[in-house]
Chain A
Amino acid sequence: MTRVVVTVMPKEGVLDPQGQAVRGALGRLGFGDVTDVRIGRRIELQLTGDDPEGQARRMCDELLANALIEDYSVAVEG
């Protein structure tokens, strides 16, 4: 069994209203050093079989991420 962590983030240039809202709230709490917040999604997969990274990438291309608006990264944690 291999654990693979997929991180999906909104692409640069795509409006992230969730990140903007959190940034505003952090500013109101006094965290004035925050210049930007972007919020994405972490997906943890438990995989059997060969090539867990390749499998995870195909899953991202087919379902887990929308290439028009999101970037993804894949990390195999063993």
Chain B
Amino acid sequence: MSVAVLRFPGSLDHESAARAVTAAGGEARYVWHAEEELPAGTTAVLLPGGFSYGDHLRPGAIASRAPVMDAVRRHAAEGGLVLGICNGFQVLCEAGLLPGALRPNATLSFVCRQVELDVADPGTPFTRDLPARLSVPVKNHDGAWFGDPSDARVVLRYAGENVLGSVDAVAGVANREGNVMGLMPHPEEAVDPLLGSVDGLGIFAALARA
């Protein structure tokens, strides 16, 4: 019910992420990266998009070593839900909580556009309530997933054009247990008809239910 929305220096999308949690019926609380514990009663963790630490070294690399991440690791190890969006996905990969790494887009450009995604694995809490194909935006420069798809639980793939140049068109992956998931596209920007799509709501419903 209570979703901890992490904030690192350079996080940008925490407000839209928190709004999406609220729209799905949950309660969102911001948690600063220097905290060593999650607030009492935290049932799910959300790492939002942005450019933590200015993307220095590698996107997500420095944030993945922040004090709060030990608490996130404990939460995940206990089976708690953890969702990373865009920079949050990069942080989770750098933290070793998700397989793979995010590389610069094949086009070497910032890609900002609406994309279609296919749900490759509806068996996780996050993807259970999603339509088989969803329309959400991407906006990033380093979103090309690199890794071994046979060794990862791929949950989302780009339908049609592989816009960022990911291995196997991967848009999102989960851990083996399915309680930690990351994706480069932004479902929090697809939760209201005014945004052109409500296809992302199901992901936040999972967090709100936790």
Residue A66 CB within 8 A of the other chain? yes
Dominant secondary structure of chain A at its interface with chain B: helix
> Chain B residues near A66 (CB, 8 Å)?
58, 61, 94, 101
Residue A18 CB within 8 A of the other chain? yes
Within 8 A of B (CB), among A12-55: 14-15, 17-18, 21
Give the B interface residue count (CB, 8 A): 18
Chain A interface category by residue count: 10 to 19
Query: How far apart are B38's CB and chain A's nearest CB, in angstroms?
Result: 23
A17/B146 in contact, CB under 8 A: no
- A interface residues with partner B (beta carbon < 8 Å): 14-15, 17-18, 21, 62-64, 66, 68-69
For the complex, give the distance between the alpha carbons of A66 and B105 in Å: 17
Dominant secondary structure of chain B at its interface with chain A: loop
For the complex, give the distance between the alpha carbons of A63 and B63 in Å: 11
Residue B104 CB within 8 A of the other chain? yes
> Chain B residues near A14 (CB, 8 Å)?
103, 146
A17/B104 in contact, CB under 8 A: yes
A15/B165 in contact, CB under 8 A: yes
Residue B128 CB within 8 A of the other chain? no
> Chain B residues near A69 (CB, 8 Å)?
101, 103, 146
Closest residue to B61 on the A side, CB-wise? Answer: A63
> Chain A residues near B61 (CB, 8 Å)?
63, 66
B105/A17 in contact, CB under 8 A: yes
For the complex, give the distance between the alpha carbons of A62 and B62 in Å: 11
A21/B57 in contact, CB under 8 A: no
> Chain A residues near B105 (CB, 8 Å)?
17
Within 8 A of A (CB), among B76-114: 94, 100-101, 103-108
A18/B108 in contact, CB under 8 A: yes
> Chain A residues near B94 (CB, 8 Å)?
66
> Chain A residues near B146 (CB, 8 Å)?
14-15, 68-69
Query: How far apart are A60's CB and chain B's nearest CB, in angstroms?
Result: 11
For the complex, give the distance between the alpha carbons of A69 and B57 in Å: 13
> Chain B residues near A21 (CB, 8 Å)?
108
